[in-house]
Amino acid sequence: MGPVQLADTRRDVVLRLLEMLREAHGRKADLVVFPELALTTFFPRYWMSQEEAQARYFETGMPGPDTQPLFDEACKLGIGFYLGYAELTPGGQPYNASILVDKTGGIVGKYRKIHLPGHDDHKLDAPFQHLEKKYFNVGDKTFGVWDTLGARIGMCLCNDRRWPETWRVMALQSAEVVVLGYNTPSLNIHWPEPVHLRMHHHLVTLQASAYQNCVWAAAAAKCGSENGHHMIGGSVIVAPTGEIVAQASTEGDEVIMVNADLSLGDTFRKHVFDFARHRRPEHYALIVDR
Ligand code: ING
């Protein structure tokens, strides 16, 4: 998905999401993966008060008036979707959240981002901020897997994909597919990182994680330049073999698709990564204890 500018309304964005949903349906897709924080610009790049952020960029209801058309169309077309958005709970708690919606337009799963990158202070000399630690709580439940749309589907969000624990917790729940959205700035504000490394780390992470956990991975970027702030593209679908089977080539609204054979993960689960036979959790305590 291409950029969302500060001036773009949720209505503008939902019209774009509807277009992509219809194109995916036309290509016989069962599930569409939209990006993280898909309804607005990536606002954690800006310093503002919690109150202002919540008033401008958070959803107090899902579906809400602006997103209801997406649920209605999905139900009419008989197609499910993953959507990332900023959630403000009825109790006033803010999360970077995602939902899994089935072919009846019902929300079957909810996830709240666990690995929040960046900082919570105002970095005055930085070209932009990355304030997820300021605007969001850490997710309140672990990575989940849901039986829907004919598969066991796990969800995560953006930075979560960089942490091996994310994938293993879902694989230990027998996930067959992991879906995620992301917003990844091209520029690293902490050290002079060559731009090509952003894409390399994004892809190598997904390829290794899909292979090591015997899952299909589908990652959807919000990318391109948002009010002059560029984010990498590279939306991709990776097979359990670790091979990239589809990758976006633009930084605009673009649908990539694969007819995923879920049994492709079986041989890896039966042999190389037969967790029951080969894993030795008695030696892994440091991962949880530290
Ligand atoms: N964005 C980035 C991501 O994990 C980041 C932040 C980029 C962290 C590169 C480390 C390296 O893709 C979000 N929203 O998590």
- Give residue 258's pLDDT: 98
Of 156, 158, 214, 223, the active-site residue reads 158
Residues of the chain falling short of pLDDT 70? none
Distance 17 CA to ligand 1 centre (A): 23
Cα–Cα distance measured from residue 223 to residue 41, given in angstroms and rounded to the nearest whole number? 10
Please report, for the domain that includes residue 83, its CATH number.
3.60.110.10
pTM above 0.95, yes or no: yes
Q: Is 85 inside any structural domain?
A: yes
Question: Strands (DSSP E) along 72-165, which ranges?
Answer: 80-88, 94-101, 107-112, 145-148, 151-157
Q: Is 231 inside any structural domain?
A: yes
Q: Is 68 inside any structural domain?
A: yes
Q: What are the structure tokens assigned to 38, written together?
A: 């898909």
- Give residue 178's pLDDT: 99
Task: Name the residue of 96, 162, 180 to mutate for ligand 1: max ligand atoms within 8 A of Cβ.
Answer: 162
- In this structure, the dihedral spanned by the alpha carbons of residues 14, 29, 202 and 154, taken in order and rounded to 10 degrees, is 90
Q: Is 104 inside any structural domain?
A: yes
Q: Is 2 inside any structural domain?
A: no
- Give residue 290's pLDDT: 87
DSSP conformation letters of 229-275: EEE----EEE-TTS-EEEE--SSSS--------GGGGHHHHHTTT-H
- Cα 93 vs. chain centroid, distance in angstroms? 20
Q: Is 270 inside any structural domain?
A: yes
Q: Is 270 a catalytic residue?
A: no
**CA nearest 118: which of 162, 164, 87?**
162
Task: Name the residue of 130, 159, 183 to mutate for ligand 1: max ligand atoms within 8 A of Cβ.
Answer: 159
Q: Is 1 inside any structural domain?
A: no
Residue 73: give the domain boundaries.
Answer: 10-289
Cα–Cα distance measured from residue 29 to residue 80, given in angstroms and rounded to the nearest whole number? 9
Ligand 1 binding residues, C-beta < 6 A: 117, 158-159, 162, 182-184
Of 59, 73, 113, 156, the active-site residue reads 113
Q: Is 3 inside any structural domain?
A: no
Q: Tokens 């956990």 belong to which residue?
A: 213
Give the number of other CB atoms < 10 A from CB of residue 280.
6
Distance 117 CA to ligand 1 centre (A): 6
Q: Is 36 a catalytic residue?
A: yes
Q: Whose CA is nearest to atom 1 of ligand 1?
A: 184
Cis status, amide bond into 35, omega within 30 of 0? no
Domain count, the chain: 1
- Give residue 50's pLDDT: 98
Check: complex ipTM more than 0.85: yes
Cα–Cα distance measured from residue 253 to residue 49, given in angstroms and rounded to the nearest whole number? 31
